[in-house]
């Protein structure tokens, strides 16, 4: 599900609802997601004030004085803040009950997400992450240098979180369409000029998607329950056999690295 725009949308939605609020208790409705949820959170975070919320790649970082609660939404996760007395939904797995009568609930049907904790703020899962795509250090020189001699396809390259974080299957497809690059091209053979186009397209598309509240396919919703509206802006993703918005061609779907890739054979080369 959630790529960078969806996680950023979640972060922005949560911020006014949980920052400066106090945790009454932590409730584990199951003891694991992708990994075991630390049991000590019940005692560690009880009565603690939420100091801040941040995002690193697709990770949400909820800051406490005693450390950082790290949440990943996996493929199907979403977070809502509801009245604590509201009935649990199916697949609500983790809950921060606040002292103001509200609860932050993590719902994740497929359970590929994670709830972790770091005392110091750093974590092995965050240590080797690449640059943020919306920061200025993500530019054509960065991608050009890192891609030399790489034989993998350009789509896998920009989806590699050790290179750049937050670009998932939807936005990789959309970005490559926007700048006219064939997703099957080898990353190492792409010119600096094309990398400039690509970085600009990634930045533009992610920014527009955040503005639209993200993309909703099935599971994702914003913190208030409303869907993301970027779905209607998608040019190729999920549009196999439909007409290309830029030419008379048909959108193709191929499989790359076990994932569907949508693109236009005549617009992308």
Partner DNA sequence: CTTGTCACCTGAGCGC
Partner DNA sequence: TGCGCTCAGGTGACAA
**Least distance from DNA to the Cβ atom of residue 162, Å:** 8
Burial level of 148, CB count in 10 A (0-12/13-18/19+)?
A: exposed
Catalytic residue among 150, 185, 253, 259: 259
58 flagged as catalytic: yes
119 flagged as catalytic: no
Identify which of 222, 126, 168 has the alpha carbon closest to the alpha carbon of residue 1.
Answer: 168
2 flagged as catalytic: yes
User: Residue 257: how many CA atoms within 13 Å on its side-chain side?
Assistant: 14
User: Considering beta carbons, is residue 67 or 188 the nearer one to DNA?
Assistant: 188
User: Considering beta carbons, is residue 91 or 194 the nearer one to DNA?
Assistant: 91
CA gyration radius, the chain: 20
Catalytic residue among 11, 58, 155, 239: 58
Sign of CA dihedral 265, 175, 234, 77: positive
Identify which of 83, 174, 166, 163 has the alpha carbon closest to the alpha carbon of residue 130.
Answer: 163
| 184 in Cβ contact with 256 (< 8 Å) | yes
Give the list of residues 6+ apart from residue 234 with CB closer than 8 angstroms, or none: 170, 174, 215
Give the list of residues 6+ apart from residue 143 with CB closer than 8 angstroms, or none: 157, 158, 163, 164, 195, 198, 199
| 98 in Cβ contact with 129 (< 8 Å) | no
**Least distance from DNA to the Cβ atom of residue 163, Å:** 9
133 flagged as catalytic: no
Helix (H, G, I), strand (E, B) or coil at 221: coil
**Least distance from DNA to the Cβ atom of residue 45, Å:** 23
User: Considering beta carbons, is residue 24 or 171 the nearer one to DNA?
Assistant: 171
**Least distance from DNA to the Cβ atom of residue 54, Å:** 15
Tell me the C-alpha distance between 172 and 232, whole Å.
Answer: 17
User: Considering beta carbons, is residue 48 or 152 the nearer one to DNA?
Assistant: 152
The DSSP bridge pattern shows strands 92-98 and 23-28 to be: antiparallel
**Least distance from DNA to the Cβ atom of residue 121, Å:** 17
Contacts to DNA by CB under 7 A: 1-3, 6, 34, 57-58, 72, 74-76, 90-91, 109-112, 125, 149-153, 156, 161, 168-170, 187-188, 215-220, 257-260
Tell me the C-alpha distance between 28 and 42, whole Å.
Answer: 8
User: Considering beta carbons, is residue 187 or 205 the nearer one to DNA?
Assistant: 187
User: Considering beta carbons, is residue 45 or 165 the nearer one to DNA?
Assistant: 165
**Least distance from DNA to the Cβ atom of residue 147, Å:** 8
Which residues are tagged catalytic?
A: 2-3, 58, 259
């Amino acid at each position: 599900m959630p790529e960078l725009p969806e996680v950023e949308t979640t972060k922005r939605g949560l911020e006014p609802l949980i920052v400066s609020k106090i945790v009454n208790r932590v409730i584990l409705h199951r003891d694991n997601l992708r990994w075991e949820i630390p049991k000590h959170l019940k005692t560690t975070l009880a009565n603690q004030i939420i100091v801040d919320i941040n995002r690193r790649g697709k990770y949400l970082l909820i800051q406490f004085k005693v450390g950082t609660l790290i949440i990943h939404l996996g493929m199907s996760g979403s977070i809502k803040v509801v009245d604590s007395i509201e009935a649990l939904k199916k697949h609500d797995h983790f809950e921060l009950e606040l002292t103001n009568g509200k609860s932050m609930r993590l719902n994740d049907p497929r359970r590929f997400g994670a709830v972790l904790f770091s005392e110091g703020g750093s974590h092995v899962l965050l240590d080797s992450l690449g640059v943020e795509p919306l920061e200025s250090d993500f530019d054509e020189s960065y991608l050009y240098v890192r891609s030399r001699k790489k034989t993998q396809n350009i789509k896998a390259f920009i989806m590699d979180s050790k290179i750049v974080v937050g670009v998932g299957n939807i936005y990789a497809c959309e970005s490559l369409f926007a700048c006219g690059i064939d997703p099957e091209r080898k990353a190492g053979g792409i010119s600096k000029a094309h990398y400039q186009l690509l970085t600009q397209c990634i930045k533009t598309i992610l920014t527009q998607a955040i503005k639209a509240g993200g993309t909703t396919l099935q599971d994702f919703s914003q913190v208030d329950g409303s869907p993301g509206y970027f779905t209607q802006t998608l040019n190729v993703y999920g549009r196999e056999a439909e007409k290309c918005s830029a030419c008379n061609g048909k959108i193709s779907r191929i499989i790359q690295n076990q994932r569907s890739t949508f693109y236009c054979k005549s617009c992308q080369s």
